[in-house]
Structure 1
Amino acid sequence: MTPSVTIIIPTYNRAHMLPQAIEAALGQSHAQTTVMVVDDGSQDETGAILSRYADHPRFVGVSLAGNVGTAQAKNVGIALSTTDAITFHDSDDLPHRDKVMRQARVLGNETIGAHPSLNWRLSGREPETPIQVGGVLTHHELILPDGERVEIRRSLSLVDDFFPNLQMAAGVPGDWTHVNSGLFHRSVFDRLGGFLDCIEEDREFRNRLIMAGEVLWVIPEILLTKIESPDGLTQAGATDYDSPRRVADRQRVWDAVGRWFATRKVDPVPIDLSGVRIRSCTRPDLCNRQSLARVTALRDRVA
């Protein structure tokens, strides 16, 4: 059965780009798709943008009372979503209209099995048994601020933190398979938790999936365009790839890989939203009511 999907779009002060991201998400060909924008305490016109879509039957606008960071904004979306599967699009992402449908059909394929030619016991599975794919990734393209277009097709980068010795002829540094926009079965979050509160949250989540033996499927086609702008996290001086903050976060990720090699244990990251407050939610009926009540402790309102 093809799973229902929530597209979670965390955003902060990107009102100038947000409408095209919302339209692209709502325009996905997969009919069972809900779009949830989590406004991470924006100070611009993001609230006005969300109000435009308040009556759309498949749109949820969640406004947080303060800025908590991308990882926690994603965790809010995970907690509030009610669908079978979840994907994450940035506010500067333009997905192909069939991206989610293609991913969902793989995720819902019940005929995928553990072929006996591979050593499935290393990941805790028996040969010739059914497999639930945990995440479906795609290739993507990147439009840089200077207009350069880069095609990202290197699946080897899924394990670059584990085997850097295999990267020597793999291409330009930063040429990676985009984990953030993968479609993930909800059971993955039940087992492994949500995102670690850091700016390397995608890398850390990717590594946790691999260490836990989750099954990852890569569709070898470009189904997403990412448009990087100077105010994005990977371009801004405080959070770019050479910034002290990102270097420190990456070291945390590498330390976790080192612990896994030594112990083969994977620690889940519980979703802790005790410090998060929601200012408003346009469609509580499309949200997990229990999570909504727990997260908000509403000092303000839920529309």
Structure 2
Amino acid sequence: MVDYGLVSIVTATYNMAQYLPLTVESVLGQTYQNLELIVVDDGSSDDTSEVMARFAAEPRVRYIRLERNCGQTVAKNRGLSEVKGAFVAFVDADNLWKPNKLERQLPLFVASERTGVVYSDAEYIDGSGAVLPYIERKYHDGDITAKLLLSNFVNFNSAVVRKEVIDEVGGFDEALAMGIDWDLWLRISVRYRFRFLPEQTYSYRLWENQMSHQKVKRLKNAEKILEKFQRAYPDAVPAKTLDEAKALLYADYALLELKNGTKSEAMTQAVRALKMRPDRLQFWKTLIKVIIG
């Protein structure tokens, strides 16, 4: 097997002792063996430290414990500060990698130095590991900034990134609580190309109370990310693309407010969305949904 260099994998974990050993084993079980795993324990109050003790003799695993819970952004950046590899990858403590993940993705970097990130499709599993029905998503290849603004389709746990790219654009924005991967991908996308591997290289676990279910918090952070992107890269995409990204966000707000029973606020957000892109039928449909309740 071709050696593409050391791959550093960062796992930030908080009270995930029930799933973490499986995650670690899925990384260590890679067919591509030139890797290191950096597990950053974000002040867990469960038995994470005891669980990680079973990997103490494994030289490819480093366990770092933060004394208090600092949040996923700080924990992931701490992991990034420790990496030694030419490539960086990420896996959350409740997800699993397929054995040939790195073997399949690393060759895609060879074709072009402009390739900054290689990512893939995902398999979905429940809390017990049973495979769930496939969730179809649209993925994109190449210069993806305009499409990425409209939807974060880059699966975080699938992404492998050149270390020099992260050195250039910086790590995760610690002013954000959620959407930190979307913010990172956007910053990378204005300078580098993304390659998509149409294979399911990892298993994404869907279970109750995970962070992705916190929709209000997610939308507020998405709004911050769009504002930040517009300030930093005002000419990166056509104005209409940015308007559509904002309209999609306001439409999400509208439907969430409708669900929560605050119809007046739902109406305000639906009108905001429509004003941004009155030429899009979907935003007229959002307004109609709000009107009829």
Normalised by the length of structure 2, the TM-score is 0.71
Q: Does structure 1 residue 96 correspond to structure 2 residue 68?
A: no
User: What SS does the corresponding residue of 1:149 show, helix, strand or coil?
Assistant: coil
The equivalent residue for 1:142 is 124
User: What SS does the corresponding residue of 1:13 show, helix, strand or coil?
Assistant: coil
What one-letter code is carried by the residue in structure 2 that aligns with 1:192? Answer: V
Which of these two proteins has the greater Rg computed from alpha carbons?
2
| Compared CA separation, residues 40 and 141, structure 1 to 2 (3 A) | same
Q: Structure 1 or 2: larger helix share?
A: 2
The equivalent residue for 2:135 is 151
Task: Using the TM superposition, give the Cα deviation of residue 163 of structure 1 relative to its aligned residue in structure 2, in angstroms.
Answer: 5.8
Q: CA–CA distance in 2 between the matches of 1:24 and 1:150? A: 21
The equivalent residue for 2:162 is 185
Q: CA–CA distance in 2 between the matches of 1:83 and 1:231? A: 33
The equivalent residue for 2:28 is 26
User: What SS does the corresponding residue of 1:262 show, helix, strand or coil?
Assistant: coil
Task: Using the TM superposition, give the Cα deviation of residue 17 of structure 1 relative to its aligned residue in structure 2, in angstroms.
Answer: 0.8
Alignment of 1:61-76 (within 5 A): 61-76=63-78
Report which stretch shifted further, 226-235 or 59-68: 226-235
- 1:167-210 C-alpha deviation (Å, 9 max, x unpaired): 8xxxxxx8x33034301111011100100122110111111111
Q: Does structure 1 residue 210 correspond to structure 2 residue 212?
A: no
Number of residue-to-residue matches in the alignment: 229
The equivalent residue for 1:87 is 89
Aligned residues of 1:134 and 1:216 also touching (Cα < 8 A)? yes
Residue of 194, 218, 223 corresponding to 2:201: 223
Q: CA–CA distance in 1 between the matches of 2:136 and 2:232? A: 28
Task: Using the TM superposition, give the Cα deviation of residue 47 of structure 1 relative to its aligned residue in structure 2, in angstroms.
Answer: 0.5
Q: CA–CA distance in 1 between the matches of 2:208 and 2:234? A: 40
User: What SS does the corresponding residue of 1:65 show, helix, strand or coil?
Assistant: coil
Aligned residues of 1:88 and 1:180 also touching (Cα < 8 A)? yes
The equivalent residue for 1:253 is 225
Task: Using the TM superposition, give the Cα deviation of residue 257 of structure 1 relative to its aligned residue in structure 2, in angstroms.
Answer: 2.8
Aligned residues of 1:3 and 1:104 also touching (Cα < 8 A)? no
Normalised by the length of structure 1, the TM-score is 0.69
| Compared CA separation, residues 36 and 261, structure 1 to 2 (3 A) | closer
What one-letter code is carried by the residue in structure 1 that aligns with 2:183? Answer: E
Task: Using the TM superposition, give the Cα deviation of residue 103 of structure 1 relative to its aligned residue in structure 2, in angstroms.
Answer: 1.8
What one-letter code is carried by the residue in structure 2 that aligns with 1:58? Answer: R
| Structure 1: gaps (5+ residues) | 114-130, 168-173, 266-303
Q: CA–CA distance in 1 between the matches of 2:90 and 2:123? A: 16
Residue of 234, 239, 250 corresponding to 2:212: 234
Aligned residues of 2:17 and 2:48 also touching (Cα < 8 A)? yes
Aligned residues of 2:158 and 2:201 also touching (Cα < 8 A)? no
User: What SS does the corresponding residue of 2:25 show, helix, strand or coil?
Assistant: helix
The equivalent residue for 2:268 is none
Q: Which has the higher contact order (CA 8 A, sep 6+)?
A: 1
Report which stretch shifted further, 18-27 or 135-144: 135-144
